[in-house]
Structure 1
Amino acid sequence: MKLLTPEIQSYDCCDHDPIDEWVPEDPSMVDYWLNISVGVKGEIGSNNYQVHVVTQGVLSQIKSKSHLLILPYYEGFTQVLREINYKLIDCSDVSWEGVFSRIAKLYAWEYESYRV
């Protein structure tokens, strides 16, 4: 069976817009939430996740240690995308449900607290 590989289809950050142009005052003290839309390569559709991007310098100040992308030092937004993409490759699976359930273990899925 062919593995389905997730990819970032779009992203945004309400704290710093546009996020890909934002430069922090202190690159060792970064803390923001990033929204990413993730789909399967070559397919239509995606799910939204929130990623808490922090540097090690602020890690001790973060109460919830869930959904973190921890960077030693903020080099720029291309670094953030690269690190998320590394993690997404490990979420490949033979089914769409498998892919997105693996990602939901890393990042906050848009329907995480949704109850029917």
Structure 2
Amino acid sequence: MVREYGLVCAVTGAAPAEVLEAAHLRPFASTERHRVEEGLLLRSDIHRLFDSGLLAVSRDLVVSVAPSLAGHASYHALDDSLLELPPTACVNRELLADLYAKTTATW
């Protein structure tokens, strides 16, 4: 992921390698494979919000933050932002759309 996207959290921007993690769009336990197009490079706290269903990304690469985070200014400020991906990024937008629908339906 770092080779593909550099030291950049897709949601918040440049970050040290020590805080970046690969987030799976499809649970690793069900696929048991790592694919660049099925993942995002995220800062560890953003990854936890993503996996917890408190942050979602639409097919159009727009970030949505759960209403329950409205009291947390730094996270709420990410709502409606665009992912920071290189033009060559090959993120699977169908997976993003499915995950977005499932996640935001719980809000």
The answer, yes or no, to whether TM exceeds 0.5 is no
Kindly indicate which of the two structures has a greater share of residues assigned to helix: 2
**Higher Cα radius of gyration:** 1
TM-score (norm 2): 0.29
TM-score, normalised with respect to structure 1: 0.27
Structure whose residues are more often strand by fraction: 1
